[in-house]
Amino acid sequence: MKHFISIYDHSSEELYELLEHASRIKEYQKKGRPFITLSEKVLFMIFEKPSTRTRISFEVGMLQLGGHALYLSPRDLQMGRGETIADTARVLSRYGDGIMIRTFSHDIVKELAENASIPVINGLSDLLHPCQIMSDLLTIKEHLGRIDKVKIAYLGDGNNVCNSWLNASCRFSFSLTVATPKTRKPDEEILKRAIKEAKEEVKITDDPYDAVKDADILYTDVWESMGQEGTTAKFATFRKFQINDELLAHSQKSPLVMHCLPAHRGEEITDSVMDGKNSIVWDQAENRLHFQKALLDKLLS
């Protein structure tokens, strides 16, 4: 494993091993046992988009592994003033041991990886959010004891998180129903590939009630991603996709509820559900740290 750009790039075996490693690292931390494998290693963190969880989890993760994380905003780099992405990748490769980037354009992530001689991690792009979904799979495994045969319903915008769930369906044996407005479907190429290659069934619908009826997991995200605000009349478009008590009651099971955060409470999810007994949102947030520590250890040690 050289880079971590997309879940689809890696084998099922590699991805399952990462999850197992994350579980081991989490157990070490719970028992107060140090796990220092990246002493004196340096991770460059490039943020074109601000973040709470991504920055904190990577920075704390590097610290706990014994390394250092250096935050780089657009003001700290020459990329915004004419230096090419390729040249930036080559220079950073001479100074440190890894690059994590959170950016608007997936092409930037790919170009960085193509030109860097050190590992590049996709912390989020407009197309994909692979670290989030791997952390979520760790959370599902903890709560349900398995990933295989789990039924996941994704509701809302067909965004980068949705695209990464579709990629994950090609590597893990869960079934996935994607419920989005007809005008907000996921990436067409990623969707077609998932329907063809998924290990279990992948469906797309514009009926949220059909999606949740036998789901083990209900998953949602913001209706408009950062940088895309104002691109849709969101309340009219998304209202029926809100995860609320009525929708939860429509499920034949008592599904767990997930949200990758930040949440716009009262929009894609209500307070009563997010703070309710079915919610595992905070476990999700914590597991960003543990999965990413496993990933950093794998790539940088």
Mean pLDDT of 73-92: 88
Q: What is the pLDDT of residues 107-123, one digit of tens each?
A: 999 999 999 999 999 99
Task: Name residue 175's beta-bridge partners.
Answer: 151
Exactly one of 129, 171, 184, 259 is catalytic; name it. 129
143 is catalytic: no
In 147-280, the DSSP E strands lie at 151-155, 175-179, 202-205, 217-220, 256-259
pTM here?
A: 0.96
260 is catalytic: yes
For residue 45, give the H/E element and its range. strand 42-47
Exactly one of 53, 184, 288, 290 is catalytic; name it. 288
Q: Is the pLDDT of residue 5 over 60?
A: yes
131 is catalytic: no
Q: Over the range 109-121, which residues count as b (16 or more CB within 10 Å of their CB) and which as e?
A: bbbbbebbebbbb
Q: What is the pLDDT of residues 186-219, one digit of tens each?
A: 999 999 999 999 999 999 999 999 999 999 999 9
Whether 132-284 and 7-129+288-300 are alike in CATH topology: the answer is yes
Tell which residue, 100, 43, 95, 91, has the closest CA to residue 66. Answer: 43
Q: Is the pLDDT of residue 25 over 70?
A: yes
Domain 132-284 has CATH 3.40.50.1370: yes
Predicted pLDDT at 49 = 86
The residue ranges of every structural domain in the chain are 7-129+288-300, 132-284
Average pLDDT across the chain, whole number: 96
Exactly one of 53, 102, 184, 290 is catalytic; name it. 102
The two tokens of residue 266 are 């009262």
Task: Name residue 258's beta-bridge partners.
Answer: 219
Predicted pLDDT at 95 = 99
DSSP label of 186: -
Q: What is the pLDDT of residues 124-159, one digit of tens each?
A: 999 999 999 999 999 999 999 999 999 999 999 999
Exactly one of 10, 126, 260, 290 is catalytic; name it. 260
Predicted pLDDT at 115 = 98
102 is catalytic: yes
221 is catalytic: yes
Q: CB count, 10 Å around CB of 29?
A: 15
Domain 7-129+288-300 has CATH 3.40.50.1370: yes
